[in-house]
Structure 1
Amino acid sequence: MDSSTVKKYLPWIVATALFMEQLDATIVNTAVPSIAASLHVTPLSLKSVVTSYILSLAVGIPVSGWIADRFGTRRVFGSAIAIFTFASVLCGLSLNAPMMVVARLLQGIGGALMMPVGRLAIVRTFPKSELLGAMNFVIIPALIGPLLGPTVGGVIVHLVSWRVIFFINVPVGLVALYLVHRFMPDYHGQDKRPLDVVGMILFSTGTAILSWLLEIFGEHTVEPVTEILMLAMSVALLGGYAWHAANRKYPLLRLALFKVRTFRISVLGGFLTRLGVGGMPFLLPLLYQVGLGLPAWHSGLLMMPTAAAAMGMKLIAPRVLSKLGYRQVLVVNTVCIGLTIGLFSLVGPSTPSYVIIGIGLLQGFFNSLQFSSMNTLAYADVEGKDTSMASTISSSLQQLSMSFGLAAGSLITAWFLGNVPQSNQPLVTSALHHAFLALSVMTILSSAMFWGLRRNDGESISKGPGPRVEEESTSAAQ
């Protein structure tokens, strides 16, 4: 297959699958009341529909790199899309809550393979000098999916049936499967490493418990003692994995990759930054709908400028990074994100719409530049044979950081709200304002992580690699 053809279509393939996954992950939340009424259960009992998907991601992502190395990126990515699409049909046909939970678990398995394997195909296809542009294109669906999900879900539920939410994945999935068959490169790992079963059990179980805790933390349905015990179990399992991995030739996740300075700073810095950013998709709808008293559709519209700005940023991000460098961009841009989050603490019922739109545009602009920078810097100094492992580790920590961010946003808001009824609009708005300020400070402080970068770090990506790196990074699609 001609490499130029692969480069032309591969970003579209990965972007389409990622958009389908990200949209689905958020769109379901809007439909929970309608699904509960249709299945004759309470909305609270459908919490497992949301958490089951998160648990599948936590379990499936760590092993995705090994599966891709063993069976090839084309087969695994295509299978992931097929599983996700088939599970979407099962979700739409569900007759009861248990059937819905099983379908969402299966859907999560497909989603867990799509994200890291798609990113791996991008990294192995494009030389480092072209990686920034490709990644910048692919990351846009990850930014706009969570923003459009609540609005699209609300419109579908209002006009037709909640089942359509899942059926819209079918035509998208079929188109994606066709494109995978025609244009997806098929990369295999250089080493046939055995599957680390013990490591998989330790890490996947630990992350699954932790992800579940973050989803239900603070709910009165779970006793505090139980939460503490589960947290201790999760920490023990993850600690056990760290010890296990240090003494194994082929661990599930090779933590020695963190010795690569740019990879370590990018992944860990990104984890810390997402703690603040990750709470925004949860807090902003509350601010607009509870604090400002806007309907759900209006709230969704106010979040769309963020997506528009994110899409526009991809046009200038390569030039910004080439001129300023990764260190300066990440240090300054992280502070800008924190300041933008803090600006939402000034938004109230009397705030003009154009001011809210302006803040949203700034947020999308800075967020897009941040994620593009972090996601590409992670591979700047990683050798070709380690790209699969790097993609898996990066995806695993991103999933955890998203869960941590949502939990942080909700817990901080609940802390400031106290026992005040959520119908008390002024006090709820005040609590949200305090939460924005807290997340703002957290994000600004996370910029310190990027101080460890050097001025020329990432130049193989932002300004183009030397001949040797170019040769190592370019692979012929099979």
Structure 2
Amino acid sequence: MSSDTIKRYLPWVVATALFMEQLDSTIVNTAIPAMAVSLHVTPLSLKAVVTSYILSLAVCIPVSGWMADRFGTRRVFGTAIALFTVSSVLCGLALNAPMLVATRILQGIGAAMMMPVGRLAIIRTFPKGELLNAMNFVIIPALIGPLLGPTIGGLIVNWLSWREIFFINVPVGLIALYLIYHHMPDYRGETPRPLDVIGLVLFGSGTALLSWLLEIFGEHSLDPTSFGVLLTLSFSLLAAYFLHARELTYPLLRITLFRIRTFRVSVAGGFITRLGVGSLPFLLPLLYQLGLGLPAWQSGLLMMPTALAAMGMKLISSRVLRHFGYRKVLIVNTLMIGVTIGLYALVVAATPLFAIVLLGLALGFFNSLQFSSMNSMAYADVDTPDSSMASTISSTFQQISMSFGLAFGSLITAWYLGDLPQTDRLAVTGALHHAFLTLGALTIVSSLSFWALRPRDGESVSRGELRTGE
């Protein structure tokens, strides 16, 4: 398989997998209220259906880089697609909420191998000067998932049942497997490294425990003493991992990469930004359906402008970054995201439809530029031999932040709601409004992390230029 052939087809291979993963996650968000009625639980309690999926991603992604280096990108990517497709069918056949959560975890394990391995293949195929355009090309088709997901999910829930939303992945998964078999390159690590089992146990258990505690916080299922002990245990496990990783030659996640400024700011700085953004796919359908009383299909349609604007921004983000640079773009754009999230506190039943659509367009526009900037800048100064580890760390922290964002957004909403019933539309709307203001303020504060960048940081990606000095 020639290099030109790989460059021509690889973005489509990765985009098809991302399309399936994004389609599934956004369909679930729209169907949460219908699932709650069918499974006889409250809508906010079903956040576990969303968080368990993203949590399993965060826990399992650290293994993906090691698996790709050892078994090859083609085999790992193909296995991940197959597992994701089969588990999607099992999700549709779930009989109760615990069974649905369990199958979503299995689905997340499959997705955990898809995203970082696909990103790794892109990084190793395209030189840095072509990387931004290649990533944008991958993300544009993938954004069709969020575009169609809420709408298709709303229509299916309105006319059929929520179970059918998972079966859509079957034909897409088969197409992805065909493309992988014919066009996926098989990259492997230059030097085989052992799996850091101790690190996986420490990091995975610490992350899982912390996310679970955030999920149940405010539900009074644990007394304060038990909660405090478990919270201390989760932080201790994560601290133990970092101490363990410092002394190991081949750690699960090599934290020395954080010495690279562009990588550190992109991964660590973007973590807080994603807390606010990560809660929106769960909170917005609740605002539209529970707060405004809209049916599922109309709620889905209101999610479309965000995806459309995101696709449009991908077409110009390269020129924006080339002209203004990563530092200016990330500082200003993060502020705009925070303001946009806060403006959702003004959305009520009497709000004109065009105003909600404009707000969705603004959110998609700024979010798209933000993720293009953070995702591409992470690899600006990373050497090729470290690309597998960099992709693994970046994907891990990205999914952890999204998982924490979902739990954090739900936690804030539940806290503002207090003991008021979730059937009280005015109470739910008020709680969601306060949550949007809080998340918007947090996002605005997170813009301070990007002041650590220098004006020319990231130019090896945005302009294809290598810096000669600091």
2:245–2:253 Cα contact (<8 Å) kept: yes
1:341 and 1:95 map into 2 onto residues whose CA distance is: 36
1:53–1:104 Cα contact (<8 Å) kept: yes
1:32–1:43 Cα contact (<8 Å) kept: no
1:462 equivalent in structure 2:
462
2:306 and 2:286 map into 1 onto residues whose CA distance is: 16
2:128 equivalent in structure 1:
128
Give the SS at the match of 1:43: coil
1:33 and 1:437 map into 2 onto residues whose CA distance is: 23
Identity of aligned residues (%): 69
1:117 equivalent in structure 2:
117
1:344 and 1:99 map into 2 onto residues whose CA distance is: 34
1:383 equivalent in structure 2:
383
Q: What displacement does 1:383 show?
A: 0.5
Counterpart residue type for residue 43 of structure 1: V
1:299 and 1:32 map into 2 onto residues whose CA distance is: 12
2:309 equivalent in structure 1:
309
The 1:187–1:207 alpha-carbon spacing in structure 2 relative to 1, beyond 3 Å, is same
2:21 equivalent in structure 1:
21
1:103 and 1:412 map into 2 onto residues whose CA distance is: 27
1:56 equivalent in structure 2:
56
Counterpart residue type for residue 410 of structure 1: S
1:317–1:369 Cα contact (<8 Å) kept: yes
2:186 and 2:447 map into 1 onto residues whose CA distance is: 38
The 1:95–1:42 alpha-carbon spacing in structure 2 relative to 1, beyond 3 Å, is closer
Q: What displacement does 1:274 show?
A: 0.7
2:89 and 2:235 map into 1 onto residues whose CA distance is: 36
Greater shift, 78-87 or 287-296, is seen at 287-296
1:354 and 1:33 map into 2 onto residues whose CA distance is: 25
1:43 equivalent in structure 2:
41
Counterpart residue type for residue 286 of structure 2: L
Give the SS at the match of 1:325: helix
2:48 and 2:464 map into 1 onto residues whose CA distance is: 47
Q: What displacement does 1:8 show?
A: 1.9
Counterpart residue type for residue 300 of structure 1: G
2:372 equivalent in structure 1:
372
1:472 equivalent in structure 2:
none
Deviations 1:180-213 (A, max 9, x none): 1111111111111111111111111111222222
Counterpart residue type for residue 245 of structure 2: A
2:282 equivalent in structure 1:
282
2:29 and 2:178 map into 1 onto residues whose CA distance is: 30
Q: What displacement does 1:75 show?
A: 1.0
Q: For 1:141-290, list aligned pairs within 5 A.
A: 145=145, 148-290=148-290
1:437 and 1:170 map into 2 onto residues whose CA distance is: 39
Counterpart residue type for residue 124 of structure 1: R
Q: What displacement does 1:223 show?
A: 3.8
2:419 equivalent in structure 1:
419
1:74–1:184 Cα contact (<8 Å) kept: yes
The 1:99–1:445 alpha-carbon spacing in structure 2 relative to 1, beyond 3 Å, is closer
1:380–1:458 Cα contact (<8 Å) kept: yes
2:47–2:410 Cα contact (<8 Å) kept: no
Q: What displacement does 1:25 show?
A: 2.9
Give the SS at the match of 1:118: helix
Superposed CA RMSD: 2.5
2:6 and 2:399 map into 1 onto residues whose CA distance is: 28
1:474 equivalent in structure 2:
none
1:139–1:371 Cα contact (<8 Å) kept: no
Give the SS at the match of 1:114: helix
Q: Which runs of 5+ in 2 are unaligned?
A: none
1:215–1:403 Cα contact (<8 Å) kept: no
The 1:176–1:289 alpha-carbon spacing in structure 2 relative to 1, beyond 3 Å, is same
The 1:143–1:418 alpha-carbon spacing in structure 2 relative to 1, beyond 3 Å, is farther
1:154–1:297 Cα contact (<8 Å) kept: yes
1:101 and 1:390 map into 2 onto residues whose CA distance is: 30
Q: What displacement does 1:55 show?
A: 4.1
Q: What displacement does 1:443 show?
A: 0.9
Deviations 1:232-269 (A, max 9, x none): 22111111100000011110000000000000001111
1:292 and 1:464 map into 2 onto residues whose CA distance is: 48
The 1:229–1:30 alpha-carbon spacing in structure 2 relative to 1, beyond 3 Å, is farther
1:434 equivalent in structure 2:
434
Query: Could you tell me the TM-score, scaled by structure 1's length?
Result: 0.90
Deviations 1:366-418 (A, max 9, x none): 10000000000000000101111111111111111112212222222233333
Q: What displacement does 1:34 show?
A: 6.3
2:450 and 2:383 map into 1 onto residues whose CA distance is: 22
2:351 and 2:35 map into 1 onto residues whose CA distance is: 35
Counterpart residue type for residue 77 of structure 1: F
The 1:329–1:248 alpha-carbon spacing in structure 2 relative to 1, beyond 3 Å, is same
1:27 and 1:131 map into 2 onto residues whose CA distance is: 30
Q: What displacement does 1:289 show?
A: 2.3
Give the SS at the match of 2:175: helix
1:332 equivalent in structure 2:
332
Q: What displacement does 1:345 show?
A: 2.0
Counterpart residue type for residue 285 of structure 1: P
The 1:452–1:29 alpha-carbon spacing in structure 2 relative to 1, beyond 3 Å, is closer
Give the SS at the match of 1:286: helix
1:120–1:391 Cα contact (<8 Å) kept: yes
Greater shift, 50-59 or 263-272, is seen at 50-59
2:330–2:370 Cα contact (<8 Å) kept: yes
2:203–2:237 Cα contact (<8 Å) kept: yes
